[in-house]
Amino acid sequence: MHESCGIFGIYAPGVDVSRLTFFALYALQHRGQESAGIATTDGKRIYLHTAMGLVAQAFTEDELGHLHGHIAIGHSRYSTTGSSHPNNAQPLLVETDSESIALGHNGNIVNAEFLRDELFQQGYSFSTTTDSEVIANLVLSSAERGLVRRIRHAMRRLRGAYSLVVMTKDKLIGVRDPMGVRPLCLGTIDSGWVIASESCALDHIGAQFVREVEPGEIVVITKNGVKSFTEQSNAKALCIFEYIYFARPDSVIQGRLLYPARQSMGAILHREHPVEADLVMGVPDSATAAGIGYSHASGIPYCEGLLKNRYVHRTFIEPDQRLRDLGVALKFNPLSEMITGKRMVVVDDSIVRGTTTPRVVSMLKRAGAREVHLRICAPPIRYPCFFGVDMASKWELIAAQKTIPEIRDVLGADSLGYLSIEGLIEAVALPKEIFCLACFTGDYPIPVQLEMDKLALEALPARGLSEIER
């Protein structure tokens, strides 16, 4: 399962903003690894560099040196709408005769195709296939006066998830959709300001966390400081997978540090699904904290049964089946001596298609594990995501097709236990009402449009979500 992007912005006169943006993107690399980019401005023009690959591959010292100015935005991308192509790398620079804006987007716009057609008919052209360019053109097309009003106008038309960093020649703007599906936070650095997907990016560059950008909020940073504007927000729908998997465990979201939240998931998993075993392990790295939580709660010793090759990045570099097969072996190496003859509790973050987990189970069994008891930090995923998480169509989701005992058999595990929705909410220790739980429940937080899409999806088993949207 993959998230869509990491975004960052900085307004800091007298500071090397391109270099700080580079290091902030480094900290946000886990949110997207297909392309990276930075746009800066010195007040006179906008400078832009984007490239395919990891942040470290996308920039040379020389390229950073050409990104002048005191305002910057940065983006690391995993494509959800629009293919993995250099043209679709962000930040996007969209220019009209009279103005230019650079934009970085994390999320997915549900009605992007409709809006694209409408803008196309109005004479707007598109140089990418991303929904992010739809947002930029929608802002520029507004007849309202002033950028904030035009953004508000666009927000009323957009349906879906969007956390944005927007840069003009004199402003840095952060925007979070009214449901707050993706996180966004605000911080200070020296005499300037920063905006980032996650607080861990602030920590790494020596910035101080101030607060989260609220759902529906527009934060405008100029030489006069920060101003906030709020678009009406009726229902909140923060993606619960930020807590389970996407965000880094050293990030704070809604005042909750993720590491202990994940430990609690493991502890509650033990309460809900205890088992007699010799060792507990978390599948590295995303389930490590939950594995430790299970171990503490159960008293079963924790062990690193699999070592992760941290220099092989997530296994979607080439998303075909042959390379997916290779991916698990490239990524993990079992510690046979530690696990031979042992009954293992293996804690993992989630099961989507159920294609990777059987390879992990068989790898552990081949390495000598006597029993493998899988414990999953998420409830069964039975519905696809409409908000920018590239998981699968309903017909590929194993929990939409099979019962839990059937899934256990497919995975080759000796037992299987999923965290309940109630247990998950207890672990994050925040009100259930602020979260999107749609991939577990099918209750999508955008009622009309999505219910229609959902019905269409049910009716067309052979087609995936992206085709329905189109």
Q: How far is the CB of 108 from ligand SF4 (least distance, A)?
A: 9
The 10 Å CB-count burial string (b at 16+, else e) for 412-428 is bbbbbbbbebebbbbbb
Measured from the CB atom, the residue of 200 and 436 that comes closer to ligand SF4 is 436
- Label the pairing between strands 435-436 and 238-239: parallel
The 10 Å CB-count burial string (b at 16+, else e) for 195-208 is bbbbbbbbbbbebe
**Angle between the 357-366 and 404-411 helix axes, to the nearest 10 degrees?**
50
CA distance 279 to 339: 8
Q: How far is the CB of 243 from ligand SF4 (least distance, A)?
A: 10
Measured from the CB atom, the residue of 36 and 430 that comes closer to ligand SF4 is 430
CA distance 246 to 228: 27
Measured from the CB atom, the residue of 181 and 411 that comes closer to ligand SF4 is 181
3-state DSSP assignment of residue 469: helix
Q: How far is the CB of 399 from ligand SF4 (least distance, A)?
A: 13
Residue numbers at the binding site for ligand SF4 (CB under 6 A): 181, 239-241, 385, 387, 389, 436-439
Q: How far is the CB of 378 from ligand SF4 (least distance, A)?
A: 9
Measured from the CB atom, the residue of 239 and 297 that comes closer to ligand SF4 is 239
Which residues, 6 or more positions from 142, have their beta carbon under 8 angstroms from its beta carbon? 149, 150, 153, 154
Cβ atoms of 275 and 345 closer than 8 Å: yes
Q: How far is the CB of 131 from ligand SF4 (least distance, A)?
A: 15
The DSSP result for 370-396, as a single string, is SEEEEEESS----S--SSS-B---GGG
CA distance 336 to 351: 24
CA distance 3 to 397: 17
Cβ atoms of 273 and 242 closer than 8 Å: no
What the block records as the tokens of 83 is 């293919």
Q: Which amino acid is at 443?
A: D
Q: How far is the CB of 250 from ligand SF4 (least distance, A)?
A: 21
Measured from the CB atom, the residue of 59 and 241 that comes closer to ligand SF4 is 241
Cβ atoms of 294 and 271 closer than 8 Å: no
DSSP state of 312: S
Measured from the CB atom, the residue of 124 and 383 that comes closer to ligand SF4 is 383
CA distance 112 to 367: 48
Tally Cβ neighbours within 10 Å of residue 402.
15
CA distance 276 to 108: 43
* Active site members: 5
Q: How far is the CB of 375 from ligand SF4 (least distance, A)?
A: 20
Q: How far is the CB of 77 from ligand SF4 (least distance, A)?
A: 18
What the block records as the tokens of 463 is 């087609």
Q: Which amino acid is at 353?
A: R
Measured from the CB atom, the residue of 19 and 353 that comes closer to ligand SF4 is 353
Measured from the CB atom, the residue of 56 and 429 that comes closer to ligand SF4 is 429
CA distance 135 to 246: 24
